[in-house]
């Protein structure tokens, strides 16, 4: 496995999220483990991860994946997350995740099941706050229904529901305490609260949420779809930019230097493609354009590399609680030829935005010799970005 990597949040370093996604989920049906199945336009696991990415309370995020699912690991690492290898049991998987987080300065950890995609920012905050007063905290809902025992389709008895709770995740702990508890409890356990209590740790109950369901059976997908679909805020923004040709021996497009007998002129590095995508993100946020955030009248931005602008737009989207799910950029020019360089452009744009390359499109067209692009006077770019918030 690769060494841990974390992309860092400047204001958060000590609270980590550990998302357990190594199960096979056979009761949910389907040809894929439930965490990889589509749900409300994304995969189940993507919703869980996005909730912790959006939270200002969470720093590093570690995902524990089954050995058969490591093809998914590269995209998570590219987004700045840590990936650990799953074990034979859930407890073993959690231990591996805790080991992967060791040495990063983590003092608290929230352990969450990837199969709970409807986790809210409020619940993440409640569990985190509770750790100010106790070494362990977990959300739960009091059992309100009558409880029966049964066999062969018949009721065989009743049980008192007083003091019974339905456990949920994320279950939060002081990091060193839960790591020591797992080390002393190598056998399987129902959840991390069981491990903590076996080690004598006090665990407080935080009010859970009905929406925080665990996708277990086929019908749960429809319930989760209704929850996520009803609260989904989708934004789309457009960006358009133009730069004229001038002296030079290359053009910078979507972060890639492309050899050409002329360069593009502009106050910055004149990366017309990156500028269009940046403005598309600002547009989706209804927050102006590059010129407002980085005025050309300010000399500090003269000759600046455009990844500075794009990174700012991406960070701003995160601060506002949005995840960028897709970006599409069309470069309009007669020359140079874009096709041979498009894969590298996609990869570089995806790297800067923290996306997998399959969520970034870079393509080109001509204007059929019409207009300033047709006359070879410059290059234009048109971009669209899609942002989603819970």
248/37 Cα distance (integer angstroms): 49
- Do the domain assignments include residue 8? no
How many independent structural domains does the chain possess? 2
What CATH number is associated with residue 93? 3.90.550.10
- Do the domain assignments include residue 6? no
Other residues' Cβ atoms within 10 Å of the Cβ of residue 26: 9
User: What pLDDT is stored for residue 267 in this prediction?
Assistant: 81
End-of-domain residue from the set 205, 231, 257: 231
- Are 166 and 204 members of one domain? yes
User: What pLDDT is stored for residue 230 in this prediction?
Assistant: 63
User: What pLDDT is stored for residue 266 in this prediction?
Assistant: 86
Residues sharing a CB contact under 8 Å with residue 369, sequence separation 6 or more, in sequence order: 334, 375
pTM for this predicted structure: 0.60
- Are 268 and 330 members of one domain? yes
- Are 237 and 227 members of one domain? no
User: What pLDDT is stored for residue 27 in this prediction?
Assistant: 64
SS3 call for 21: strand
- Are 193 and 273 members of one domain? no
355/344 Cα distance (integer angstroms): 14
User: What pLDDT is stored for residue 188 in this prediction?
Assistant: 86
Rg (C-alpha) for the chain, rounded Å, is 25
- Are 29 and 96 members of one domain? yes
User: What pLDDT is stored for residue 30 in this prediction?
Assistant: 66
- Are 120 and 27 members of one domain? yes
By residue range, what is the domain housing residue 339?
Answer: 233-389
End-of-domain residue from the set 231, 266, 289: 231
- Do the domain assignments include residue 3? no
345/250 Cα distance (integer angstroms): 15
Strand 136-142 to 203-207 pairing = parallel
- Are 151 and 167 members of one domain? yes
- Do the domain assignments include residue 1? no
End-of-domain residue from the set 172, 204, 231: 231
- Are 217 and 263 members of one domain? no
* Residue in the block written with tokens 């008192």: 160
- Are 251 and 352 members of one domain? yes
The DSSP secondary structure of 118-167, one letter per residue, reads T--HHHHHHHHHHTTT-SEEEEEEE--S-EEEEETTEEEEEE--TT-EEE
Q: In which residue ranges of the chain is pLDDT below 50? A: 1-12, 390
- Do the domain assignments include residue 107? yes
């Amino acid at each position: 496995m690769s060494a841990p990597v974390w992309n860092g949040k400047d204001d958060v370093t000590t609270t980590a999220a550990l998302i357990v996604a190594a199960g096979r989920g056979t009761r949910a049906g389907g040809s894929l483990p439930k965490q990889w199945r589509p749900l409300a336009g994304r995969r189940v696991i993507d919703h869980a991860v996005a909730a912790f990415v959006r939270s200002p309370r969470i720093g590093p995020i570690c995902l524990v994946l089954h050995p058969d699912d490591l093809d998914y690991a590269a995209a998570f690492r590219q987004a700045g997350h840590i990936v650990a290898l799953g074990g034979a049991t859930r407890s073993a998987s959690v231990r591996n995740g805790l080991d992967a987080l060791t040495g990063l300065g983590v003092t608290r950890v929230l352990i969450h099941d990837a199969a709970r995609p409807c986790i809210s920012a409020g619940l993440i905050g409640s569990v985190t706050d509770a750790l100010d007063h106790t070494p362990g905290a977990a959300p739960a809902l009091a059992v309100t229904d009558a409880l029966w025992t049964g066999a062969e389709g018949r009721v065989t008895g009743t049980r008192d529901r007083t003091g019974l709770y339905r456990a949920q995740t994320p279950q939060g702990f002081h990091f060193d305490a839960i790591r020591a508890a797992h080390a002393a409890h190598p056998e399987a356990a129902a959840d991390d609260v069981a491990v903590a209590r076996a080690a004598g740790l006090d665990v407080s109950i935080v009010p859970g949420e009905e929406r925080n369901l665990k996708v277990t059976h086929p019908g749960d997908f429809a319930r989760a779809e209704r929850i996520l679909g009803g609260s989904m805020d989708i934004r789309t923004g457009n960006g358009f930019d133009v730069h004229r040709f001038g002296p030079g021996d290359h053009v910078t497009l979507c972060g890639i230097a492309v050899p050409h007998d002329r360069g593009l002129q502009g106050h910055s590095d004149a990366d017309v493609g990156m500028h269009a995508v940046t403005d598309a993100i600002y547009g989706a946020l209804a927050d102006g354009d590059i010129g407002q955030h980085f005025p050309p009248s300010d000399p500090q931005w003269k000759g600046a590399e455009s990844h500075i602008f794009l990174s700012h737009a991406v960070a701003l989207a995160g601060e506002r609680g949005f995840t960028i799910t897709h970006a599409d950029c069309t470069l309009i020019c007669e020359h140079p030829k874009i096709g041979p360089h498009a894969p590298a452009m996609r990869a570089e744009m995806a790297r800067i935005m923290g996306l997998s390359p399959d969520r970034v499109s870079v393509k080109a067209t001509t204007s059929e010799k019409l207009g300033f692009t047709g006359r070879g006077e410059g290059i234009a770019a048109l971009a669209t970005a899609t942002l989603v918030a819970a």
